[in-house]
Amino acid sequence: MKTNHRRGFVANTPRDQSMWGRSKRLSEHAVGVSIGNDFTDGHRGMARAKRGAKKRLRALERLDARRVIRQELEEMVGDEES
C-alpha cells in the first residue's frame, strides 16, 4: 500500500484544547472567549470550536476599535460646532 509519509513516521497526538480560553483588554473593558469540553455537536470539533472563539475575539476587538474612532470623530465634530 502506498503511503504519503516516510518510514518510521509516527504522528503526534493532537493537544487537548478543551476548556481553552483567551481574554483581551479593550479600551473600556475586558472581553473573554472560551470553548467548552463537549465536542459532540456534529462536525463542530475541537479545532473548529477554537477557531470560532478566536474569530469572535478578533471581531470584538475590531468593533471596539471602530467604536473608539467613532467617539473621537463625534468629539471632534462637536468641538468644531461650538
Instruction: Specify the higher pLDDT residue, 27 or 9.
Output: 27
**Which of 63, 40, 35 has its CA nearest to residue 51?**
35
The residue count for the chain? 82
Model pLDDT, residue 61: 96
Query: In the chain, at which residue ranges do the beta strands (DSSP E only) sit?
Result: 21-25, 30-34
The separation between CA 38 and the C-alpha centre of its own chain, rounded to angstroms, equals 18
Do residues 61 and 26 touch, judged by C-beta distance below 8 A?
yes
pLDDT at 20 over 70: yes
pLDDT, tens digit (0-9, with 9 covering 90-100), for 37-74: 888 777 778 888 999 999 999 999 999 999 999 999 99
Task: Name the pTM for this structure.
Answer: 0.74
Cα(38)–Cα(23) distance, integer angstroms:
21
